[in-house]
């Protein structure tokens, strides 16, 4: 899990990268970090799968 960073669009909003375990998510919430990404939420995608998903979402 990597430390929080600041989002330029919303100053003061911290987010975490590399969240892999539920215990990490709970700890981050206790620290006031409500936004995260990592394998806990979704595994990485091969480029072709990502392209298909983005095209399908755009078509809606």
Pairing of strands 35-37, 14-17: parallel
Tell me the pTM: 0.61
Q: How many residues does the chain have?
A: 60
Q: What is the extent of the structural domain holding 50?
A: 2-59
pLDDT (tens digit per residue) in 21-56: 999 999 999 999 999 999 999 988 999 999 999 999
> How many domains is the chain built from?
1
Contact 19, 28 (CB under 8 A): yes
């Amino acid at each position: 899990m990597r430390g929080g960073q600041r989002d330029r669009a919303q100053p003061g909003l911290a987010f975490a990268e590399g969240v892999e375990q539920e215990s990490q998510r709970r700890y981050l919430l206790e620290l006031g970090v409500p936004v995260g990404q990592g394998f806990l939420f979704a595994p990485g995608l091969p480029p072709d799968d990502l392209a298909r998903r983005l095209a399908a979402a755009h078509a809606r």
